[in-house]
Chain A
Amino acid sequence: MLFVEFRFLVFFLVVFGVYWSLRGNSARKCWLLLCNYVFYSGFFIGDPEIFFEHVIQGQWGQLPAGWWFPTVLAASTCMDFAVGLGIGGASTDARRKAWLLVSLVVNVGVLSFFKYFNFFVSSASGFLEWFGLHTSLHTLQIILPYGVSFYTFQSMSYSIDVYRRRLEPVRRFLDLAFFISFFPQLVAGPIVRATIFLPQVFEKRRWADVDARGSVALFFVGFVKKACVSEFASQISDPFFAAPGKYSHTGALIAILFYSVQIYCDFSGYTDMAIATARLLGYELTLNFDFPFFSRSVSEFWRRWHISLSTWLRDYIYIPLGGNRGTKLFVWRNLLLTMLIGGLWHGAAWHYVVMGGLNGLALIIHREWAQLTENTGAIFNRVRSVLAYPLTCYWTLVTFIFFRAQAVYNAKTHALEATAMENACAVLKTISFIGRQGKLNLNLKCVAVLAVLAVVHWLNFHRVLGTQWRRLPDWACAALLALGSVIALLFVPVKYKPFVYFQF
């Protein structure tokens, strides 16, 4: 069930209506917990009618693969609840550490099994074969449960924060289960910290505190970003990544720009809708995007892009590794290692590792450059700040190529034509104006569309349109939203592509 689907609207209206009509906080949480699991199960059980028919008849083999994944979520929650209580009740530091270790091993173990098992096995096999040692290692047919990377990180943050005494262990299972499975952020984030969310769980939410108008507006904007802009941009970028060699150099550059639009609108649109949905239920999630394309350095970009992940990596990996303290080489190692893990978090493939490595490298270079040019003159600073935007943007595009790269198969023979890495290199070559170019081109009209999108984004960044809409009467706001919906629906596809971050 995607946020942009009509059935989500029906689901949410039921959730919303029942939730606010319940009086007690526990009753509300119980209701939402039930809804969370219904929402999550919806991704795995397929047609509910057929699913329950098989269950009633005991035909377990006929059930869709992965129907039991919600139990992984429940088991992970149970384990972290026990770990929290264990840490809270431990009398010595060694015992606290042992409990934490249990949490880390189990959470990382679950993540590794589902996400990285095949990657590690096939990589090890390839590595050994490189040395001439033939192996018979077998990969498994593993399906990745949606959102496993997100909820695993959330539950780990709970255990670590309890261990660090930043948080009291939760005494009621309901509270923790509700926090980990909260449906707006369950499958694609933002990765909400226990320290931010749990205090909200303990307090009863009041409708009077809900910014209903702002939340609906934010949801609508998220919907437009995903359903209209991202889906449209994918119509240009997808064919390009399937056959980069067929495109001219400029055509390739335009397609890559459309890809950056696609991924930004896809993910930030999703989080806009997640945040808005949570707000309508009275909960506040973490900020996840803050106009990343207006960053003047890679370092700033990562403070504005997928903020919940980058701060998680900072607080739970970079700082424990030593952070900025120590020798220059030590800091470089920390940066590189953190970004490599960040890259690997995105997916079990070498192109994600390369993406992480490139970002780590860029952070190191930026850090050294910033220190080197700290005391330069005003003119130099001016030139630097002007060049900073395009340079950051270009580097981001390069890393996005590795993010998006895909294995290419021949449509007729289904034979592998290019691995994801080869695909990335082919794209990189085309946009770097190297080698022969293909015949397919994207015309100036595409550039005009990009320009319109950029202007809208710029206006939004600079608050040019003001805040008058908040002062409008209800009826005018409703009418505006209705008109907006009529126009937006014109650009919504009949069939959606899944959210890019669902695969993580």
Chain B
Amino acid sequence: MPRWPFSFSQKSPATAEGATDSTRNPETAPTTRQAIRRIAFVAVVYLLVFVPGCALVRHWLPFPEVSMVREKIEHFIRHGDDYDIIFIGSSRVHSQVIPAIFDKIAAANGVPVKSYNAGIAGMVSPEDSYVLDQLLRVSHRRLRWVFLEVQRLRTVLEQEQTSRSAYWHDTTRFLLVARRLFGQAIENQAQLGKESTFSARCGVWTTMAGRLCGHARYWFMREINLGCGTEVLVRWLELPGSHEDNGRSSKEKDAGWSPSRGAIQQMVGEGRARYERAYADRLAEPAVKDRGDAVSQESLEHMLAAVAKAGAKAVLIIPPTPVARNFYPTVEREKELTILDFTDVHQNRELFIPEHRIDEDHINTTGAQFFTEDLARRFVELVKPHPQAP
């Protein structure tokens, strides 16, 4: 029962019926040049259909957002018109800014607002700018202020390939990352100097190429709509457990905030010793304002422009961490922007005492309460003369 060819069974083409194309007939076998021309022609036709096809599908089916991002966006779709303020950033925003406390303090000081924490754990630049773009597409009639965590553009790839790593790799963000990677390679090459070994110099470029390929792969995955259909199908099938994919969702408290894992945990052992060293350093010498690289600045500019376009005002937050160098906007922009810097260990003692911290980068829930109160007070100072600004 030979079923080749259309059945695509694994039977040999030698036993195939209907094998009539010219490649199968040695009499009309093409020359090498003809074969190459034919392959090239087929490849071109393939791409001419494939590329617009993917673009068309992407128009209808956006790349699957990861559950925690989707949740935020879906919430904003439902309630976007209710909020005056949104906070965007990593876990340093997601777990450290408590909207209920913020709103309460602001209202008590004569600035009644409703805020939403759109921070997401592990969200780095330029993922934050992508999420901001998505949120600002949603109707947001009351939105007046957008608090943005200032972050350097990150080019390091996660070990594991996940939707989370891929979803934000649109062309804009991919090009930013690619430019930063080239910039980093040139900087590293310059740092090595002329006396460095050939392998060290090669290492710089191979690392860059490896990371670039990784990001390019994510960009490609996004462009070809990888997995969009499965997402739709799984939702349609209502598979048991499919709606529980985000363990954090049930833990989310009000307005997007949720306590970080180990929220009441305190630092011990080596982690605490390391933190205390960094803390002591900052007590002795404040953190340096690092203007960073041009691409990180550009990514920040992109976010600021998006906020301005949405008719809101950007407020930049530099969360309390005892790092030696803090990324800052350029000097010119610094004057124009509103920056709430919490890195001064003398001014923000409560935020830096080890009992209020989980690690070097994060504060615990008690610390988060102090941080939010402080943030709200500074916000009130900022807007009190003109509560309806801008």
Contacts from A to B (Cβ < 8 Å): 6, 47, 49, 53, 56, 206-214, 217-218, 221, 228, 231-232, 235-236, 239, 251, 268, 271-272, 275, 279, 284, 287-291, 440-443, 445-446, 449, 460-461, 463, 465-467, 469-471, 474-475, 477-479, 481-483, 485-487, 489-495
Residue of A nearest to B159 (CB): A47
Q: If A445-B236, A482-B46, A483-B49 touch, does A494 touch B10 (CB 8 Å cutoff)? A: no
Residues of A close to B47: CB separation below 8 A: 482
Residue of A nearest to B2 (CB): A463
Q: Is the CB of A490 within 8 A of B6?
A: no
* Interchain CA distance A235-B226 in the complex, whole Å: 16
Residues of B close to A239: CB separation below 8 A: 239-241
Residues of A close to B271: CB separation below 8 A: none
Residues of B close to A449: CB separation below 8 A: 233, 237
Q: Is the CB of B230 within 8 A of A232?
A: yes
Residues of A close to B4: CB separation below 8 A: 214
**CB of B7 within 8 A of chain A?**
yes
Q: If A474-B38, A483-B53, A494-B221 touch, does A218 touch B23 (CB 8 Å cutoff)? A: no
Residues of B close to A236: CB separation below 8 A: 239
Q: If A207-B35, A495-B162 touch, does A287 touch B10 (CB 8 Å cutoff)? A: yes
Number of B interface residues in the complex (CB < 8 A): 67
Residues of A close to B109: CB separation below 8 A: none
Q: What is the CB-to-nearest-CB distance from B184 to chain A, in angstroms, rounded to a whole number?
A: 16
Q: What is the CB-to-nearest-CB distance from A473 to chain B, in angstroms, rounded to a whole number?
A: 10
Q: What is the CB-to-nearest-CB distance from A110 to chain B, in angstroms, rounded to a whole number?
A: 29
**CB of B122 within 8 A of chain A?**
no
* Interchain CA distance A475-B161 in the complex, whole Å: 35
Digitize B28-56: 1 where CB-to-A-CB distance is under 8 Å, 0 elsewhere: 01101001001001110111111001100
* Stretch among B11-19, B83-91, B129-137, B374-382 lining the A interface: B11-19
* Interchain CA distance A207-B24 in the complex, whole Å: 9
Q: If A287-B12, A445-B237, A479-B45 touch, does A486 touch B38 (CB 8 Å cutoff)? A: no
* Interchain CA distance A218-B5 in the complex, whole Å: 9
Residues of B close to A210: CB separation below 8 A: 23
Our pick among B8, B43, B221, B226 for the contact of A217 (Cβ within 8 Å) is: B8
Residues of A close to B21: CB separation below 8 A: 211, 213, 470-471
**CB of B295 within 8 A of chain A?**
no
Residue of B nearest to A232 (CB): B230
* Interchain CA distance A287-B226 in the complex, whole Å: 31
Q: Is the CB of B16 within 8 A of A211?
A: yes
Interface centre among A236, A463, A477, A485 (most CB of B within 10 A): A463
**CB of B163 within 8 A of chain A?**
yes
30 A–B contacts from the bound complex (CB under 8 Å): A207-B23, A211-B16, A214-B5, A239-B241, A272-B10, A288-B10, A290-B9, A440-B241, A446-B237, A461-B3, A461-B7, A463-B7, A470-B5, A470-B6, A470-B20, A470-B21, A471-B18, A471-B21, A478-B45, A479-B49, A482-B48, A482-B49, A486-B57, A489-B54, A489-B225, A490-B57, A490-B226, A490-B230, A492-B226, A492-B227
Q: Is the CB of B229 within 8 A of A463?
A: no
Residue of A nearest to B53 (CB): A486
Q: Is the CB of A213 within 8 A of B8?
A: no
Q: Is the CB of B26 within 8 A of A491?
A: no
Our pick among B19, B26, B217, B238 for the contact of A211 (Cβ within 8 Å) is: B19
Residue of A nearest to B51 (CB): A482
Our pick among A56, A288, A463, A475 for the contact of B6 (Cβ within 8 Å) is: A463
Q: Is the CB of B6 within 8 A of A467?
A: yes
* Interchain CA distance A423-B10 in the complex, whole Å: 34
Residue of B nearest to A289 (CB): B10
* Interchain CA distance A206-B206 in the complex, whole Å: 37
Q: What is the CB-to-nearest-CB distance from B29 to chain A, in angstroms, rounded to a whole number?
A: 3
Q: Which 6 A-B pairs have the closest CB atoms?
A: A490-B229, A208-B29, A467-B18, A482-B49, A486-B53, A478-B45
Residues of A close to B7: CB separation below 8 A: 460-461, 463
Residue of B nearest to A47 (CB): B210
Our pick among A279, A469, A478, A486 for the contact of B13 (Cβ within 8 Å) is: A279
Q: If A287-B11, A460-B7 touch, does A490 touch B240 (CB 8 Å cutoff)? A: no
Residues of B close to A288: CB separation below 8 A: 10
* Interchain CA distance A467-B18 in the complex, whole Å: 6
Residues of A close to B166: CB separation below 8 A: 494
**CB of B255 within 8 A of chain A?**
no
Q: What is the CB-to-nearest-CB distance from B304 to chain A, in angstroms, rounded to a whole number?
A: 31
**CB of B199 within 8 A of chain A?**
yes
Q: If A463-B7, A479-B49, A483-B49 touch, does A493 touch B19 (CB 8 Å cutoff)? A: no
Q: If A443-B237, A467-B6, A467-B17 touch, does A491 touch B42 (CB 8 Å cutoff)? A: no
Q: What is the CB-to-nearest-CB distance from B1 to chain A, in angstroms, rounded to a whole number?
A: 8
Residue of A nearest to B224 (CB): A489
Q: Is the CB of A495 within 8 A of B160?
A: yes
Q: What is the CB-to-nearest-CB distance from A65 to chain B, in angstroms, rounded to a whole number?
A: 17
* Interchain CA distance A470-B25 in the complex, whole Å: 13
* Interchain CA distance A289-B13 in the complex, whole Å: 15
Residues of A close to B8: CB separation below 8 A: 217-218, 221, 272, 460
Q: Is the CB of B45 within 8 A of A490?
A: no
Q: What is the CB-to-nearest-CB distance from B332 to chain A, in angstroms, rounded to a whole number?
A: 40
**CB of B175 within 8 A of chain A?**
no
Residues of B close to A471: CB separation below 8 A: 18, 20-21
* Interchain CA distance A212-B239 in the complex, whole Å: 40
Digitize B45-87: 1 where CB-to-A-CB distance is under 8 Å, 0 elsewhere: 1111110011001000100000000000000000000000000
Digitize B129-169: 1 where CB-to-A-CB distance is under 8 Å, 0 elsewhere: 00000000000000000000000000000001111001000
Known: A477-B42, A485-B46, A486-B54. 4 other contacts (CB 8 A): A208-B23, A446-B237, A470-B19, A483-B53
Residues of A close to B32: CB separation below 8 A: 207
Interface centre among B26, B50, B241 (most CB of A within 10 A): B50
Q: Which residues in chain B, 182-230, are within 8 Å of chain A measured between CB atoms? A: 199, 203, 206-207, 210, 217, 220-221, 224-230
Q: Is the CB of B10 within 8 A of A474?
A: no
Our pick among A463, A470, A482, A489 for the contact of B226 (Cβ within 8 Å) is: A489
**CB of B234 within 8 A of chain A?**
yes
Q: Which residues in chain B, 289-317, are within 8 Å of chain A measured between CB atoms? A: none
Q: Is the CB of A482 within 8 A of B45?
A: yes
Interface centre among A49, A221, A291, A478 (most CB of B within 10 A): A478
* Interchain CA distance A275-B10 in the complex, whole Å: 7
Residues of A close to B14: CB separation below 8 A: 284
* Interchain CA distance A280-B7 in the complex, whole Å: 19
Our pick among A460, A478, A491 for the contact of B49 (Cβ within 8 Å) is: A478
